[in-house]
Structure 1
Amino acid sequence: MRRLLMSGCIAAWLLSACGSQPPVPDWQGNAHGALQSAVAATLNGNTRVAEADMARARNEIARTGQPALLARAELVLCAARVASLDLAGCPAYEALAVDAAPAERAYAAYLYGKGQPADVALLPEQHRGVARGGASAAALHDPLARLVAAAVLLQRGTLVPADAVDAAATASAQGWRRPLLAWLGVQLRAAEAAGDAGMALQLQRRIGLAAGTSSP
């Protein structure tokens, strides 16, 4: 597991279908498209669409009879949820964890702020600096990975205000409504706690616009 979804070949981690490889089986291409759509729908806040697309991905992967592959796919979707600060866990992965590879188990622990130092080498390379505590989320180039890293820092209690600002800016630049609303909410709570009424009002306007509850 050396790269996260949305960077380069979106399904390289799951499908190993990039580069000069033989033609991929149908299930791989179908699972790739369905998983990509599920992640996009999750980031856009389209829960019903995401569930339908993920059901298609699961069906395709189930054709292989390899629960480890399905566990990996579940983590891809859960990473998109973590990026949106849905930190309630990944039950679909947990049901398959007994068959997951060590890299997937390490990544699952990292996603929810429970990573262990001994497992850092098993993580995607771009996340290792954050896992060690020596890098900020903003140092990651991939937008989704950056949001995931920021969420990990938040769970650890080591997120700094600049990370929250960067996470919201990253989600905004990508047009990802769900994580944008989540990270604007983090900023709003910080502004309110600091007594910054002007910033709080500005953030409320942004939240209203992104949520579709106010006019541009």
Structure 2
Amino acid sequence: MRMLPFLGVALLAACASKPLPPDWQANAKGALDAATDDYLKGHSAAAEAEFREARSETSATGRADRVIQIELVRCAAQAASLVFEDCPAYAALAPDATPAQRAYAAYLAGRWEGLDATLLPEQHRAVVGSGAFREIADPLSRLVAAGALFKAGRMTPEGIVVASDTASDQGWRRPLLAWLGVQAQRLEASGDTAALEQVRRRIALASGQR
């Protein structure tokens, strides 16, 4: 028992000897996580402010590749929500992007012709070849893959339902409404009025209209 105080001091000393990450990293990550969550929940003003904070913290390093990473996360959240605006903030920095960042931007935009999938994050590599995204464990990555598939013109009707259910399970209003809207368009085109009315009721509920 007499060894315990000594061990405690030794552990504290060991922890203290490890260099702490610079403030900008923690600040940028916190702001980026909050921005993404607020964006997916439909809190646009808060999300925009937090994205600006994440970019400001990262731009203090003077490293374009680090700022690009922030913008690609924003682009990914938009892709998950079926918002495709060509990510102008990324485009302005694209000349300084790494090969992996360029590949990911092309993946999000649905430009898969000639895409080197080995440069993508691991969970997205198989999507390009097989179109399978249901097995992706992380819900946001799953929705991002769904959005990329949709943009590439490779999304299946079953995949649309998977994307809707993923957004619903997480309580992410923005992508849920987007994917339900796609479902509604398909059902209207097919003439399935009963299923269409059910989806429209879900849209009204998620929109706060019921």
TM over 0.5: yes
Deviation digits for residues 73-117 of structure 1 (CA, Å, limit 9, x no counterpart): 100111001100001211111111111111000000000100344
Deviation digits for residues 157-213 of structure 1 (CA, Å, limit 9, x no counterpart): 221111000000000000000000000011111111110101110000100010111
Is residue 2:150 matched to residue 1:154? Answer: yes
Further displaced range: 179-188 or 135-144: 135-144
Is residue 2:34 matched to residue 1:37? Answer: yes
Residues 12-51 of structure 1 mapped to structure 2, 5 A cutoff: 22-51=19-48
Counterpart of 2:137?
Answer: 141
Deviation at 1:151?
1.3
Counterpart of 1:209?
Answer: 205
Indicate conservation of the 8 Å contact 1:107/1:115, yes or no: no
Deviation at 1:139?
2.0
Is residue 2:173 matched to residue 1:173? Answer: no
Counterpart of 2:180?
Answer: 184
Structure 2 distance, partners of 1:108, 1:144, is 16
Is residue 2:95 matched to residue 1:98? Answer: yes
User: What secondary structure sits across from 2:85 in the alignment?
Assistant: coil
Structure 1 distance, partners of 2:81, 2:56, is 25
Structure 1 distance, partners of 2:119, 2:31, is 26
Structure 2, unaligned runs of 5 or more: 1-17
Structure 1 distance, partners of 2:183, 2:164, is 9
Structure 2 counterpart of 1:196, from 189, 192, 197? 192
User: What secondary structure sits across from 2:168 in the alignment?
Assistant: helix
- Runs of 4+ aligned residues of structure 1 deviating over 4 Å after TM superposition are none
- Paired amino acid for 1:165: V
Q: How many residues align?
A: 193
Return the TM-score normalized by structure 1: 0.86
Further displaced range: 110-119 or 190-199: 110-119
Deviation at 1:22?
4.0
Deviation at 1:118?
4.7
Structure 2 distance, partners of 1:186, 1:106, is 27
Structure 2 distance, partners of 1:104, 1:164, is 26
Return the TM-score normalized by structure 2: 0.89
Structure 1 distance, partners of 2:112, 2:25, is 30
State percent identity of aligned pairs: 51
Structure 1, unaligned runs of 5 or more: 1-20
Indicate conservation of the 8 Å contact 1:61/1:70, yes or no: yes
Q: CA RMSD in A?
A: 1.2
As a proportion of its length, which structure holds more helix?
Answer: 2
Residues 84-95 of structure 1 mapped to structure 2, 5 A cutoff: 84-95=81-92
Counterpart of 2:54?
Answer: 57
Further displaced range: 148-157 or 58-67: 148-157
Q: Name which one, 1 or 2, has greater alpha-carbon Rg.
A: 2
